[in-house]
A and B are shown apart, each in its own frame.
Chain A
Amino acid sequence: MARIHGKKGDVMLDPTGGVTVVSLASCNAYELNTAKDLVDVTCFQDTNKQSVMGLPSYDGSISGFWDSATTPEQLFAVVFGDVPAMLHLIPNTLEPTFLFKGLANIDASLDVSATGAVSWSSKWVAAGPWVMEPAIVP
């Protein structure tokens, strides 16, 4: 496989936190961050700053457009609930076995303008262990 376009990306979730994920409708972008904490361990006589790495954060964002047939049930019901959702982030549905997944706490905001489409955006952060599939042993 070669470099790919984001057109075939997908966001799938199970609001119960289970394994039955379905595609989030009217979604057009997501972001996944795995920034690690860096702890400064620079000491006397070191010739440059040094650090050690902590764990990856696993957080990000999702965005799309409001559709009253799907957005309230699929997104806002999860936001207003108390159960972390199972989230699958798929870079390319033509290779659906390559994905990142895990439990996530999700929030959402709505953007309504008199001159544009009604859109929503959401931030998520890991609520349990996340994995990349297929697993790559470092």
Chain B
Amino acid sequence: MSVAANVAAVDAALFAVLAGDAALMALVPDGIWRDVAPAGSTRAVTIQLQTHEDIEGFRAPVYETFQYRIVAHVLEKSGGDADAAAYRIHTLLQDTVLAPIAGYTHMATLRVEPIRTQDPDSGDNDLRWQLAGADYEITVSPD
């Protein structure tokens, strides 16, 4: 009987790939954060786990599917750097092997839907937050 793997391991692998990329960090130097970036950040990426599904087999889960929303938040007038960060994230994730993931073997990472929008700053309506990224579906098989 296999023991269920820790789903946090997939989060950790995702963080490691994004935070470890110098080109992405140059665009979003305030870092990679889960759900919300710290106050004062003006260039950061958030990762939010949206859904998770176990596909069951007779003796153990056969594979698991995670859907993450990964978005670059950049305080700038145009969306140039936010778009560049989103493209870099896509290059790092889409159809590449996410490894190592403790307790899992990576199967696939596929973009579900791109995100590109802007929001006014809550403190100054003349400032704009450019948001760019995508929802990604990551499929992994428990070891």
CB–CB B63/A28 < 8 A = no
CB–CB B59/A10 < 8 A = yes
A36-75 to B contact mask, C-beta < 8 Å, 1/0: 0000000000000000000000000000110000000000
A-B residue pair count with CB separations less than 8 angstroms? 32
A1-33 to B contact mask, C-beta < 8 Å, 1/0: 000000111110000000000010011100000
Judge whether A117 is part of the interface by a CB distance below 8 angstroms.
yes
CB–CB A11/B62 < 8 A = no
Q: Which residues of B contact A10 (CB under 8 A)?
A: 58-59
Interface size class on chain A is 10 to 19
Smallest Cβ-Cβ distance to A7: which chain B residue: B56
Judge whether B110 is part of the interface by a CB distance below 8 angstroms.
yes
CB–CB A117/B56 < 8 A = no
Judge whether A34 is part of the interface by a CB distance below 8 angstroms.
no
Smallest Cβ-Cβ distance to A27: which chain B residue: B58
- Say which residue of A9, A65, A93, A115 sits within 8 Å of B62 (CB atoms): A65
Residues of A near any B CB (own CB < 8 A): 7-11, 23, 26-28, 64-65, 93, 115, 117
